[in-house]
Amino acid sequence: MNAKKTQIEPFIFHTLNGLLMIAVAVVTLYPFLNTFAVSLNAGNDTIRGGIYLWPRIWTDQNYRAVFANGNILNAFWVSVARTVLATVLSLFLTSMLAYTLSRKDYILRKPITILVVLTMYFSAGLIPTYFLMKDLHLLNNFLVYIVPGLVSAFNMIVIRTYIQTLPEGLIESAKIDGAGDFRTFISIILPLCQPVLATVALFVAVGQWNSWFDTFLYASSKQELSTLQFELMKLLSSSMNLNSSAAVSSGADPNAAAQNMVTPVSIRAAITIVASLPILVVYPFLQKYFVHGLQLGSVKE
């Protein structure tokens, strides 16, 4: 009797656990799949509602309306450039600061840590920040996307905590072999910090890719510096006027007219897919590091 009970209990647990995970997966995936279905459905038909996982009237007009903007391609490459450069530079400088503040023999470790942490809670505000960017000659300059976010206090704490979990003997042995702090950082610390660096890279990349407000504030008057998110935001803001230009009927066929109609709801869905697809492509490559790095680099102090 006990043997049968021992065999049944794991079966029940794994079955319930599997059903629970399937339910979580469905709840997680449904909003994205629904948005994808709406983006492929005719705009005026979407207004009726009832679109769940499959379009009723298939059309690519929503995506045509998004990519009809001639600035989209250039804005896409600007967003890619800012995301890649900002992520690489931010990781390097933030991890360098984290390594420095993790060293117990550094006499300014505590005061600098306090100053860095204070920036998480206190900000000068929007107007002083704008004048600072102006005084630094960063207005309408590509560097305005890179310089202000080079070092993040939160990311520094995450990386520093991870570094503190590494064996101290590794650093001591490197110093015995004649390696300086910079050589130790490059050759030993950075390779061992791949999990937490991948986690922080995802944070920084997503933030840079989704950012549009800094373009609006600091570079809106220079079209060459416009980012993808800013262009999509402008398109969404003007989507109320898209019907007059995009709803073109080919003859008397009502289905053809429906396929050429776009609405704010359908445009919003297409914009969401276009904006999120690049990050969804990158995420699987970083996922294997994400949980491990976040657990080991979590704040424990």
Count of CB atoms within 10 A of residue 71's CB? 16
Per the listing, tokens 């007219």 go with: 257
pLDDT above 90 (res 105): no
pLDDT at 234: 83
Q: Which residues contact 184 (CB under 8 A, 6 or more apart)?
A: 171, 174, 175
pLDDT above 90 (res 239): no
Give the residue-averaged pLDDT of 82-111.
91
CB 243 within 8 A of CB 130: no
Give the residue-averaged pLDDT of 167-175.
84
pLDDT above 70 (res 297): no
Give the residue-averaged pLDDT of 31-55.
84
131 confidence band (pLDDT: 50, 70, 90): very high
pLDDT at 245: 47
pLDDT at 3: 57
pLDDT above 70 (res 21): yes
Own/partner long-range contacts of 76-79 (Cβ < 8 Å, ≥24 apart): 76/228, 78/142, 78/224, 78/225, 78/226, 78/227, 78/228, 79/208, 79/209, 79/227, 79/228, 79/229
244 confidence band (pLDDT: 50, 70, 90): very low
184 confidence band (pLDDT: 50, 70, 90): confident
Count of CB atoms within 10 A of residue 98's CB? 27
pLDDT above 70 (res 213): yes
Average pLDDT in the chain: 81
pTM, two decimal places = 0.76
pLDDT at 87: 93
Give the lowest-confidence range in 2-11, 113-122, 241-250: 241-250
pLDDT above 90 (res 91): yes
